[in-house]
Amino acid sequence: MSSISENIVSVKKRIKYAAERSGRDWREIKIVAVTKTFPAEYIMEAYKYGIKDIGENRVQEAFSKYSVISKSVIWHLVGHLQTNKVKKALEIFDLIHSVDSIRLAEEINRRANSLNKVAEVLVEVNTTSEDSKFGITPKKTVEFVKEISQLSNIAVMGLMTIGVFSENPEDSRKYYVMLRELKERLEDYDLGNGKMKYLSMGMSNDFEVAVEEGANIVRIGTAIFGNREV
Ligand SMILES: *Cc1c(COP(=O)(O)O)cnc(C)c1O
């Protein structure tokens, strides 16, 4: 499994170069290691090499790993969340990247309230306008953030998007620009409970482009852990 450590070194290096190219400080960029379909041991291995943020896309799968990981890692839900899984999700996850409806936001707010906590969330934006993807349309994002920012047990921490699946990472660039500009608009309007902090964008195939366009969370699976069997 030593290749996990080598992959982490290489991903970090590539993030560093991409940050330097765009005049950014690489230390402000968080790597979320996406461990979906991989066993809990992979989380421990990544942890040994300095990874503290773990991404999962299913609540149930995350729970089975969460219950055996003794280290204090930060858990990110990067996949779609159904309202009937919110209660469990809030027990596990520190940041939910995938808020994409008022109904979901209200349910998170209600459950967070009964746990006496404030749930940190990102709003997922469907920048590529693909039917197969979840997310708020770019057009409706400002209004959406305005609305859910009223909920007292939700803190809107930023925006998330998924680029295009393509051999060419440049194909995602315009969508990452779009997300950054949306975040800037929200900051101008002072929306999102004053905490518009994160831009979660960039995966194994295109994270350097995302970093160049301002990502401060990149979500990386295969470039660290290898190919998933599906
Ligand atoms: C699986 C997944 C990732 C990681 O994808 P890789 O291509 O393996 O890096 C990132 N974000 C989301 C939402 C995912 O579902």
Q: What is the CA(124)–ligand 1 centre distance, in A?
A: 14
Q: Please tell me if the CB atom of residue 159 comes closer than 6 angstroms to any atom of ligand 1.
A: no
User: Residue 169 corresponds to which amino acid?
Assistant: P
Q: What is the CA(161)–ligand 1 centre distance, in A?
A: 11
pLDDT digits (tens, 9 = 90+) for 56-82: 999 999 999 999 998 899 999 999 999
- CA dist 105 and 31 (Å) reads 25
pLDDT digits (tens, 9 = 90+) for 172-195: 999 999 999 999 999 988 776 767
pTM here is: 0.96
Q: Which atom of ligand 1 is nearest to the CA of 57?
A: 15
User: Residue 225 corresponds to which amino acid?
Assistant: F
Q: Which two tokens stand for residue 106?
A: 């209200």
- Per-residue pLDDT, averaged over 143-157, amounts to 95
Angle, helices 138-148/173-188, rounded to nearest 10 degrees: 40
What 3 state SS string does 45-93 have?
Answer: HHHHCCCCEEEECCHHHHHHHHCCCCCCCEEEECCCCCHHHHHHHHHHC
Q: Please tell me if the CB atom of residue 57 comes closer than 6 angstroms to any atom of ligand 1.
A: yes
Backbone angles phi, psi at 62, to 5 degrees: -65, -40
Q: What is the CA(35)–ligand 1 centre distance, in A?
A: 9
Angle at CA of residue 89, ends 229 and 103, nearest 5° = 110
Task: State the chain's mean pLDDT as an integer.
Answer: 95
